Structure 1
Amino acid sequence: MFAQFGLLAALVWQAYQAWPNLTFGVTGSTLFAVSIALGIWTLTVNRPGNFNVIPEPREGGQLVTQGPYQWIRHPMYSSLMLFAAGCATVIDGWWAWYSCGALVLVLWFKSEVEEHLLIKQFRQYEAYRQRSKRFVPMLW
């Protein structure tokens, strides 16, 4: 969790430092827009009190499989990856791309831990895993 927030903070700091010279362009703007839309959609579909920043399902939590969850199991992680890619695109420096790649690895590892815990908590999770992708619909 600390690595995730540290890498996001590093990306935001890099963007802040480069702010006067940033050019968002179509790609950067699209990545940010999709990131924000997916994040908001995910938060509106997930039940209040069900969301957790640590990869441990909440006691008494519900398995959400509608909205973006019907296609991807970790849409909030996907939203964060899109945000990081948007930052790296507009900053366009090796450190930003390194931070983005490191964040993808951290979120992949975090999703692995979370999925093992979800399998233990929800009988239907394995079937859900079979019909959905981890981060990107129809791909990954």
Structure 2
Amino acid sequence: MSSKAYSYLLVSLQFIFIAILLVEHGLHTPSNFALLIFLLGCGFGLYTVRHNPLGNFNITPEIKENASLITTGAYRYIRHPMYFSVLVMMLGVVVSKPTILSFLIYTLLIITLFLKAKKEEMLWMEHSSEYTTYMRKTKRIIPFIL
């Protein structure tokens, strides 16, 4: 499978898993705790977007031609803050109405985002000599942990 096809497969899986979680949980009223988790994820995502201009941002793990390495804001601590944001938001969805299916789909989403992160990092190492140094200073997805 080509590199771009693999990237598009990962993005497709990501959105399929998110859609399944959202459909599985329907339009019921979430608990305050679930809503808080979801909103924290949204807030973190907005904070992240503030530091990464849209022209630099890519939905696939492929690196844009003129992309620059961002090391400010959330990127100072983790290399993939948008993936972290998605995971926190979807955790809020899962917590709102936990089922075996939702935990299974959430686990598949985690695996998909880790594969996307790994692919993106491999491409960044080819694209930028400073990325290896950046990797040593930051965690992959979860601040201060992983």
TM range (shorter): over 0.9
1:36 counterpart = 2:42: yes
Equivalent in the alignment of 1:7: 17
Distance 1:126 1:24 in 2: 42
Q: How far has the Cα of 1:138 moved from its partner?
A: 1.0
Equivalent in the alignment of 1:84: 90
Distance 2:14 2:93 in 1: 15
Q: How far has the Cα of 1:129 moved from its partner?
A: 0.4
Q: Normalising to structure 1: TM-score of the pair?
A: 0.93
Q: How far has the Cα of 1:23 moved from its partner?
A: 3.6
Structure 2: 5+ residue runs without aligned partners?
1-10
Q: How far has the Cα of 1:13 moved from its partner?
A: 0.7
In structure 2, which of residues 105, 123, 146 is the aligned counterpart of residue 117 of structure 1? 123
1:50 counterpart = 2:56: yes
Instruction: Give the share of equivalent positions with the same residue, in percent.
Output: 28
Q: What's the Cα RMSD here?
A: 1.1
1:25 counterpart = 2:35: no
Distance 1:10 1:51 in 2: 25
**Paired amino acid for 1:51:** F
Q: How far has the Cα of 1:10 moved from its partner?
A: 0.5
Q: How far has the Cα of 1:24 moved from its partner?
A: 1.6
Equivalent in the alignment of 2:75: 69
CA-to-aligned-CA distance 1:29-55 (integer Å, 9 cap, x gap): 221121001111111110231100110
Q: How far has the Cα of 1:79 moved from its partner?
A: 0.5
Name segments (4+ residues, structure 1) moved above 6 Å.
Answer: none
Distance 2:130 2:39 in 1: 33
SS in 2 for 1:5: helix
Number of residues of Structure 1 aligned to a counterpart in Structure 2: 136
Q: Normalising to structure 2: TM-score of the pair?
A: 0.89
**Paired amino acid for 2:89:** F
**Paired amino acid for 1:108:** F
Equivalent in the alignment of 1:101: 107
Q: How far has the Cα of 1:25 moved from its partner?
A: 3.1
Distance 1:48 1:138 in 2: 26
